[in-house]
Amino acid sequence: MRMGCDILHIEAVHATSKLLKIKNMSQINTFKTSEIKISKDSQDYYTATHPFHGVLVDSTYFASRTEARREAVENLMDIKEHG
């Protein structure tokens, strides 16, 4: 049981050290479209997620990945504009 606690402690220290390297949190762009991840399920439905803003497109049919990405980018920009 002790080993599990040690691993959690190491992960927490690692995450904290990464945050400490960032000098100004306001300089982080949380709206990078390059961070959008798109996946397609077995029925050709797409889901697009973003690490800061969650699900942008949820299991929706598109004719192509390009269309799914375009929709995800539009949704991300709506979040940026309207909060």
Q: pLDDT tens across 12-46, in order?
A: 555 555 555 555 666 788 999 999 999 999 999 99
SS3 47: strand
pTM, 2 dp = 0.69
Q: Does position 1 have pLDDT exceeding 50, yes or no?
A: no
Q: For residues 75 and 79, what is the distance between their CA atoms, to the nearest angstrom?
A: 6
Q: For residues 47 and 65, what is the distance between their CA atoms, to the nearest angstrom?
A: 10
Please give the share of the chain, as a percent, with pLDDT higher than 90. 64
Q: For residues 19 and 17, what is the distance between their CA atoms, to the nearest angstrom?
A: 5
19 token code pair: 């945050």
Q: For residues 83 and 79, what is the distance between their CA atoms, to the nearest angstrom?
A: 5
